[in-house]
Chains A and B, each alone.
Chain A
Amino acid sequence: MDEPPVLELRGITKRFPGIVANDGVSFDLRPGEVHALLGENGAGKSTLMNVLYGLYTPEEGEIRIKGTPTRMSSPRDAIDAGIGMVHQHFMLIPVMTVAENIVLANEPTRERVLLDYDAAAQRVRDLSDAFKFRIDPNARVEDITVGQQQRVEILKALYRNADILILDEPTAVLTPQEAQELFEILGTLTREGMSIIFISHKLNEVTEIADRITVLRRGKKIETLPAAGATEESLARLMVGREVLLRVEKGASTPTEPLLQIQDLHVTDDRGIEKVRGLSLDVRGGEIVGIAGVDGNGQTELIDAIAGLMGSDSGRVLVAGEDVTNESAKDCLDTGLGHIPEDRQRRGLVLDFSLAENLALHDYDSQPASRLGWLFPKRLVARAQGLLKQFDVRGGGPQTHAGGLSGGNQQKVVLAREIDRNPKVLIAAQPTRGLDVGAIEFVHRRLVEERDEGRAILLVSLELDEILSLSDRILVIYEGQIVGEFAPGVSEEELGVAMTGGGRKEAA
Chain B
Amino acid sequence: MTETPPEGGGKVENPRQGGDYAPSVAARVAVWHKAGGIAVPLLTTILAFFIGGLVVLATTGKNPLTTYKAIFEGSGLNWFLEVGSYEIGIPWTESRVWFPWDTSFNSFAALNLQQTLIVYVSLVLTGLAVAFAFRCGMFNIGGQGQYLAGAIMAVWIGSELPGLPGFLHILVAIVAGALSGAIFAGIAGFLKATVGAHEVISTIMLNYVALWVGVFLFGLGGPLQNDNEGGESVPVSNDVLEESKLNVFWGDPLLQGLHVGFFVALAALVVYWITLNRTTLGYEVRAVGFNPEAARYGGISVARNYVLAMAISGTFAGLAGTLDILGWQFRLNTNDIFINSIGFVGIAVALLGRNTAIGVALSALLFAALLVGTSTRNLDPEIFRPELASNLTTLIQGLVVLFVGADVLILYLFGIRRRARQRQARTQA
Q: Is B93 an interface residue (CB 8 A)?
A: no
Complex Cα spacing A406 to B19, Å: 12
How many whole Å from A32's CB to the nearest CB in chain B? 31
Taking a contact as CB atoms under 8 Å apart, the answer to whether B291 and A401 are in contact is no
Contact of B21 among A18, A46, A55, A352 (CB under 8 A): A18
Q: In the complex, A404→B5 CA distance in Å? A: 9
Q: Are B283 and A405 in contact (CB under 8 A)?
A: no
By beta carbon, the residue of chain B nearest A46 is: B428
Which residues from chain A contact B299 at a C-beta distance below 8 Å? 328-330, 333, 361-362
* Residue on A nearest B14 in the bound complex, by CB: A18
For the complex, is B25 an interface residue (Cβ under 8 Å from A)? yes
The answer to whether the Cβ of A237 comes within 8 Å of any Cβ in the partner chain is: no
Kindly supply a per-residue 1/0 record for chain B positions 397-429, scoring 1 wherever the CB is within 8 Å of any chain A CB and 0 otherwise: 000000000000000000000000100110110
Could you tell me if A374 and B283 are in contact, using CB atoms closer than 8 angstroms?
A: no
| Inter-chain contact B287/A16, CB cutoff 8 Å | no
Q: Closest Cβ of chain A: how far from B168's Cβ, in Å? A: 28
Does the CB pair A373–B25 fall under 8 Å?
no
**CB pair B297 A409 closer than 8 Å:** no
> What B residues does A114 contact at CB under 8 A?
none
> Chain A nearest CB: distance from B212 CB in Å?
38
Question: A185 near B: Cβ within 8 Å?
Answer: no
CB-based contact B424/A16 at 8 Å: yes
Q: What is the CA–CA distance of A333 and B298 in the complex, to the nearest angstrom?
A: 9
Q: Taking A375-B280, A401-B33 as contacts, is the C-beta distance between A347 and B22 under 8 angstroms?
A: no
A74: interface (CB < 8 Å): no
When C-beta atoms are compared, the residue in chain B nearest to A417 turns out to be: B298
Is B314 at the interface (CB under 8 A from chain A)?
no
A400: which B residues are within 8 A, CB to CB? 26, 30
**Known pairs A17-B9, A377-B277, A395-B26; A350 contacts B424 (CB<8 A):** no
- Residues from chain B with Cβ under 8 Å of A370 in the complex: 279-280, 283
When A346-B293, A350-B295, A351-B2 are in contact, do A18 and B26 touch as well, CB less than 8 Å? no
CA distance A380 to B325 in the complex (A): 43
Verify if B290 is at the interface (C-beta below 8 Å from A): yes
Neighbouring B residues of A17 by C-beta, 8 Å: 5-6, 9-10, 12, 15, 28, 421, 425
Interface string of A376-390 (1 = CB under 8 A from B): 010000000000000
**Nearest chain A CB to B420's CB is how many angstroms away?**
10
Question: Hey, which chain A residues are within 8 Å of B298, CB to CB?
Answer: 329, 361-362
* Residues of chain B with a CB closer than 8 A to A19's CB: 15, 21, 25
A56 at the binding interface (Cβ < 8 Å) = yes
* B residues in contact with A374, CB < 8 Å: 278-280
Chain B residues with CB under 8 Å of A361's CB are: 287, 294, 297-299
Quick one: which of B224-246 are within 8 Å of A by CB? none
Complex CA–CA separation, A56 to B424 (angstroms): 7
Residues of A contacting B428 with CB < 8 Å? Answer: 16, 21, 46-47, 50, 56
> A330's closest neighbor in chain B, by CB?
B299
B279-305 interface mask toward A, CB cutoff 8 Å, 1 = contact, 0 = none? 111111011001101111111010000
* A283→B16 CA distance, assembly (Å): 47
CA distance A364 to B425 in the complex (A): 34
Chain B residue contacts of A330, Cβ below 8 A? 299
B106: A residues at CB distance < 8 A: none
Alpha-carbon gap, A120 to B331, bound state (A): 75
Instruction: Please judge, given known A-B contacts A19-B15, A328-B299, A375-B283, whether A353 and B22 are in contact too, CB under 8 Å.
Output: no
Contact check: which of B15, B22, B28, B421 meets A406 at CB < 8 Å? B22
- For B283, the chain A residues whose CB sits under 8 A away are 357, 360, 364-365, 370, 375
Complex contact A365–B280 (CB within 8 A): yes
Q: Is B59 an interface residue (CB 8 A)?
A: no
Complex CA gap A21/B295 in Å reads 34
Nearest chain B CB to A266's CB is how many angstroms away?
22
Residues of A contacting B2 in the complex (Cβ-Cβ under 8 angstroms): 351-352, 403
- Select which of A18, A352, A357, A377 is within 8 A of B15 by beta carbon: A18
For A217, A350, A394, A395, which residue has the most chain B Cβ atoms within 10 angstroms? A350
Interface class of chain B by DSSP: helix
Please, which residue of chain B has its CB at the minimum distance from the CB of A364? B283
Residue of A nearest to B282 (CB): A375
Measured between beta carbons, the chain A residues less than 8 angstroms from B1 are: 352
Q: A348-B294, A361-B294, A375-B280 are in contact. Are A404 and B25 (CB under 8 A)?
A: yes
Does A424 interact with chain B (Cβ within 8 Å)?
no
Determine whether B24 belongs to the interface, using a CB cutoff of 8 Å to chain A. yes
8 Å CB contacts to B: which residues of A397-411? 399-401, 403-406, 409
The residue on B at minimum CB distance from A329 is B299
Of B24, B30, B281, B424, the contact of A18 (CB 8 Å cutoff) = B24
Count residues of chain A with CB under 8 A from any CB of chain B: 55
List of B residues within 8 angstroms of A341 by Cβ: 297
Q: In the bound complex, how far is the Cα of B69 from the Cα of A437, in angstroms?
A: 64
The verdict on A15 contacting chain B, using a C-beta distance below 8 Å, is yes
A212 part of interface (Cβ distance < 8 Å): no
Question: Which residues of A sit under 8 angstroms from B12, Cβ to Cβ?
Answer: 17-18
- Which residue in chain B gives the minimum CB-CB distance to A351? B2
Identify the closest chain B residue to A15 (Cβ).
B15
Compute how far the CA of A357 lies from the CA of B283 in the bound complex, rounded to whole angstroms: 8
Tell me if A375 and B26 are in contact (CB < 8 A).
no
Give Cα distance in the complex from A47 to B425, angstroms: 11
Contacts of B281 in A (CB 8 A): 373
Docked-complex contact B9 and A404, CB < 8 angstroms: no
Q: Which residues of B contact A454 (CB under 8 A)?
A: none
From B17, B21, B277, B280, A364 is in contact (CB under 8 Å) with B280
A144 on interface, CB distance cutoff 8 Å: no
Which residues of A have CB within 8 Å of B301? 328
CB-CB under 8 A for A218 and B24, given A346-B291, A349-B294, A353-B287: no
Query: In the bound complex, how far is the Cα of B25 from the Cα of A361, in angstroms?
Result: 24
- Most B CB contacts (10 A, CB to CB) among A17, A346, A351 go to A17
- With both beta carbons as reference points, the residue of chain A lying nearest to B298 in the complex is identified as A361
Return B20 CB to nearest CB of chain A, in Å.
8
* Residue pair B287, A20 in contact (C-beta under 8 Å): no
B364 within 8 A of A: no
Q: Give min CB distance, B8 to chain A, whole Å.
A: 9
Q: Which residues of A contact B282 (CB under 8 A)?
A: 375
A436 to chain B, nearest CB (A): 11
CB pair B294–A395 under 8 Å, yes or no, is: no
Given A18-B24, A23-B18, A403-B29, A347 contacting B424 (CB threshold 8 A) = no
The yes or no answer to B84 lying at the interface (CB within 8 A) is: no
- At the interface, yes or no: A339 with Cβ under 8 Å from chain B? yes
Q: Which residues from 30 to 88 on chain B have a C-beta closer than 8 Å to any C-beta of chain A?
A: 30, 33
A502 within 8 A of B: no
Q: Does A309 contact B (CB under 8 A)?
A: yes
- Cβ of A396: which chain B residues have Cβ within 8 Å of it? 22-23, 26
**Interface-central residue, B9, B21, B280, B298, by most chain A CB under 10 Å:** B298
Is A480 interfacial (CB-CB < 8 Å)? no
Residue A496 at the B interface, CB < 8 A? no
Apart from the given pairs A18-B9, A361-B297, A375-B282, 15 other A-B contacts in the complex at a CB distance below 8 Å: A17-B15, A17-B421, A21-B428, A23-B17, A47-B428, A328-B301, A329-B298, A346-B293, A352-B291, A365-B280, A365-B283, A370-B283, A375-B279, A400-B26, A405-B22
| A–B pairs, 11, beta carbons within 8 Å | A16-B425, A217-B19, A348-B294, A350-B294, A352-B2, A361-B294, A373-B279, A377-B278, A395-B22, A400-B30, A401-B30
* For the complex of A and B, 7 pairs with smallest distance between CB atoms: A404-B26, A395-B22, A218-B19, A330-B299, A361-B298, A352-B290, A396-B26
Binding site for A on B (CB under 8 A): 1-2, 5-6, 9-10, 12, 15-19, 21-26, 28-30, 33, 277-284, 286-287, 290-291, 293-299, 301, 421, 424-425, 427-428
